[in-house]
Amino acid sequence: MDLINGLPDGVWQPCPRCAALLHRDRLARALHTCPECGHHLPLRADDRIALLVDPDSFVEHDADLTAADPLEFTDRMPYPQRLARARARTGRADGAVLGMATIGGHRVALVVLDFAFLGGSMGSVVGEKVARAAETALDHGVPLVAVSASGGARMQEGVLSLLQMAKTAAAIRLLRDAGVPYVSVLTDPVYGGVAASFASLGDVIIAEEGTRAGFAGPRVIEQTIRQPLPAGFQTARFLHEHGHVDLVVRRQELRGVLARLVGFCAAAAGTSAGSPVATAARRPSRAPGHDDRPERAVDAWTAVGRARAADRPTVRQHIERIFGDFVELHGDRWERDDSAIVGGLARLDGSPVVVVGHAKGRDTRENVANNFGMPHPAGYRKVMRLFELAQRWGVPVVTLVDTPGAYPGLAAEEGNQSAAIAETLALAAGLRTPVVAVITGEGGSGGALALAVADRLLIQENGVFSVISPEGCAVILFGDAGQAPVAARALRLRAEDLGRLGVVDEILPEPPGDPERAAGLVAEAVGRLLRQLAGVPVEELLAARYRRLRGYGVLAPDGTATGSPVAEPWKEGAHV
């Protein structure tokens, strides 16, 4: 111990969590995470930049921006003196570093807050650098990456500090309006005015493991309203569970995740709606003896049983088989992450897409965890968030529909399930990017329709799509749930019925016992349709989608009911 005490300061330090004594070289090799317990220790801005960007790629901008003292503020020391001490200690003019760099070979605008400079607090300089970072991203057409670590607004600059929240939010709004991607990275801690402005406005929000974030900190809450707080409150895992962030990532994985996201953005910039997609179609190999024609029609009640079969592929299995490079995004940014909806960024034939689907489970435990694929309002808000992200970034949407319906419980009604579905339908109808939907199993009522408003609607041959479950229909109209098979036939819910009604565009075969082949046929069909839709100007796409929706329904010329459509007006004169 005498030898250790005789070493220069900073050579050894204890882990704040487990108290293990750590040598600075060992800490550096572990990226300043404790090798014993995994605790993430603070990083200076320069170290953070070196961790995230490609070597020697960072070029700093506006390093000499400095704060004034407009309020002539004094607490235990005058504000200028406090600034001078912070500058001497950190070697920085203020608490943010701005510049351009590459991550995974792709250019980004980057701004990183340094907690070592007055707790990373946001005053005029930090706010200005964040705004300039957004404007730089806009000018160069490259993603913005912002890394936050802050206690909030800088009190020594008073209301001028408060107004940086509005300034930075306005700058991020410019990026949204222009469709320029923004990735926000939260590192411990992020509170107050930073949390309530640009840090929470990312298209994708990543929290580093161990991060604490929120508007009011635990001490403020406890002192102000005397409310006891649960264990793990405002931690990264808490934020993820409550739908506030997309991903929680360990420091060692952060650069790789950012590289994937930035690479997706770069690909999206080259394949936005209205631009041809120069990729070859995925052509699944034809196994000997396979017939890709749908099998002869089955009874409607049999079709329902097949659509609900426990061994039917789940959305995660479909995503794994159909898409590549999937990055799942989480949460509605409101109250929770609904596991009945799975969605995120992916590639189909190398081209970027946003994929969203209902999530049933492979077994009882998984079904219970996913609420049997029945979304709450938070699930539909999550869908809307992903739809809007696809629209901003100019990438197409693929939806995979398989649900008994929207969740019909008390909590869902308290959360306004009706409005959540209605807003999803309205958004999808006007979404300014191509949408292809595939019914992969059970298409139950409005909860399914919310993901089935599309430019092209496909169904696997063993899928069904109906206004109500056969059991529900039987109870209401026959007064007997045992009449469900009769109701199923009356509802015309089979794939072939839907084709005759003009509801679906294609019926996709499912070779018996070969889910890989079935997934390949889905991939081929979706890829082909997306290539067809990619070159259609957005206004023509929206007009054709409206004609399609406007044309659903059957009227007889004399006003009496009839069994077949009079016309298909959504297909007349359409460009797609």
Specify the pLDDT at position 5: 54
Percentage of the chain surpassing pLDDT 90? Answer: 65
Specify the pLDDT at position 7: 53
Across 51-78, average pLDDT? 93
Is 189 a domain residue? yes
Shared domain check, 347 and 392: yes
Residues 6+ apart with CB under 8 A from 204: 181, 182, 183, 184, 246, 247, 261, 329, 389
Is 573 a domain residue? no
Shared domain check, 315 and 238: no
Specify the pLDDT at position 446: 86
Shared domain check, 127 and 29: no
Shared domain check, 194 and 312: no
Shared domain check, 53 and 34: no
Shared domain check, 285 and 255: no
Q: How many domains does the chain have?
A: 3
pTM more than 0.75: yes
Is 319 a domain residue? yes
Specify the pLDDT at position 561: 42
Shared domain check, 476 and 377: yes
CB 92 within 8 A of CB 44: no
CATH number for the domain harbouring residue 486? 3.90.226.10
Shared domain check, 351 and 422: yes
Strand partners, 348: 351
Q: Is the pLDDT of residue 570 over 70?
A: no
Cα separation of 576 and 573, whole Å? 9
Is 284 a domain residue? yes
Q: What are the tens digits of pLDDT across the range 331-351?
A: 999 889 999 999 999 999 999
Cα separation of 462 and 304, whole Å? 8
Is 47 a domain residue? yes
Across 368-390, average pLDDT? 94
Across 57-61, average pLDDT? 98
Q: What are the tens digits of pLDDT across the range 124-166?
A: 999 999 999 999 999 999 999 999 999 999 999 988 898 899 8
Q: What are the tens digits of pLDDT across the range 90-109?
A: 999 999 999 999 999 999 99
The residue range of the domain holding 80 is 42-267
Specify the pLDDT at position 287: 33
Query: Rg (Cα) of the chain, in Å, rounded?
Result: 27
Shared domain check, 98 and 82: yes
Shared domain check, 214 and 108: yes
For residue 527, the one-letter residue type is G
Q: What are the tens digits of pLDDT across the range 402-457?
A: 999 998 878 888 888 888 998 999 899 899 999 999 999 999 888 899 999 999 99
Q: What are the tens digits of pLDDT across the range 231-272?
A: 889 999 999 999 999 999 999 999 999 999 999 999 998 754
